[in-house]
Amino acid sequence: MKLERVLIVDPIKGEFTGDIEINNKIISKVTLKGYNDYKYIVMPGFVDVHTHGQKGINVMNASNKDFKIWAENNFAYGVTSFFPSTVSASKEQILNVLMNSKDVGLSIEGIHLEGPFINLEKKGAQNPEYIRNPTIQEIEEIINEQVKLITMAPEIDNFYDVIDYLKEKRVVISLGHSSGGFEHFKRAFQSGVNRITHFSNALTPLHHRNIGGTGSALYLDFYLEMICDGIHLSPEFVDLTYKIKGPDKIILITDSFEGAALEDGYYTLGGLEVTVRDRKAFLADGTIASSTLVFNEGVKNFKSFTNCSLQELAKVSSYNALRNLYIFNKGRIETGYIANLVVLNNNLDLVQTIFEGKRVY
């Protein structure tokens, strides 16, 4: 396969016009041609490290076939790598998700456990019934090679009892759903944790006498997940964060649930009832619950909120997420990398998705 006369957007080499050749699953040649015109933009395929479901599929009760369908549906939004994300649940329910999502392949790279080891005070739309402190025993029982990422609150009991085990297993720890202050985030950062879940939702605010989870995320060199649906975070909040952190530490996510890409209506999330109205998902008490965002819309939103460059957009939509999770053979348009690509028009609408060298959308 050859993509000719395109604007190539690589997160490291930047933006240039040229041709891309693909052989089997691999980018075999990237040629800078200096064309003065192009019709399409080609970027690395999008990566969603935090998503609970989509189009009627709920991660917590999805069958093996559902996971496949989810991955196929996700090509329509440019997603070529994603991490189905559990919510707080019993050990049995979590093990069930791991079993059902095993060996799906396609664009599923692993599982993100969002909870249950979080702070009840910052439960957000997580079911309080299942929130608990970790024990090394339960961690050992749950964690297998599918689990790549776990969201935990740094201030809960036993946090420091389990993080060494998790690091040894190469499970990346992300801080979130936390009531912790600067002292907690600083200690976790100094212990090697470098990531924050859906900044700054479900974190303590920046206060002038304790900069909190929000201030710590800005102050220390954390990677930050961000939901750019225009609902969870105001455009100015996203732009301010981009101005402070720069393009190298932001990771776009959808945090979507089964109601995403469907009509307004009534759905469930981790056993809680969720209403979707005007594309906004919320619990009965008004708490924002997950999102109805699809990935390529979040990418367009980030561009319009920040006016960032396309190179920077490639970083926040794929490269940063992959590097943070030790994935080194994807996320660039360069010889030798896996050919996961999106083809966009100048309005950043998705025109084509290429997964492992094959057109899939």
Extract the annotated binding site for Zn(2+): 114, 177, 198
Taking CA atoms, 6 is separated from 30, 65, 126, 332, in Å, by 11, 36, 44, 15
User: 238 to each of 249, 251, 302, 340, how far by Cα in Å?
Assistant: 13, 12, 8, 27
Number of H helices, E strands in the chain: 10, 20
The reply to whether 255 belongs to the active site is yes
Select the residue interacting with a second copy from 26, 240, 262, 283 (CB under 8 A).
240
Exactly one of 37, 255, 264, 278 is catalytic; which is it? Answer: 255
Nearer to a second copy, 60 or 202 (CB): 202
Smallest distance from a second copy to CB 212, Å = 9
Determine the residue type at 211: I
When asked if residue 69 is in the footprint of a second copy (CB under 8 A), the reply is no
Closest separation in Å from C-beta 60 to a second copy? 26
**Applying CB under 8 A, which of residues 141, 244, 345, 346 lies at the interface with a second copy?**
244
Given a contact cutoff of 8 angstroms between Cβ atoms, the answer to whether 94 and 146 are in contact is no
Select from 45, 215, 298, 331 the one that contacts a second copy (CB under 8 A). 215
Task: State yes or no: residue 283 binds a second copy (CB under 8 A).
Answer: no
| 19, 21, 121, 239: which one binds a second copy (CB under 8 A) | 239
Sole binder of a second copy in the list 97, 218, 281, 310 (CB under 8 A): 218
CA distance 112 to 197: 11
DSSP 35-83: -S--SEEEEEPEEEEEE-EETTEETTT--HHHHHHHHHHHGGGTEEEEE
Q: Which residues bind a second copy (CB under 8 A)?
A: 182, 199-201, 205-211, 214-215, 218-219, 232-234, 236-237, 239-240, 243-244
Catalytic residue annotation: 255
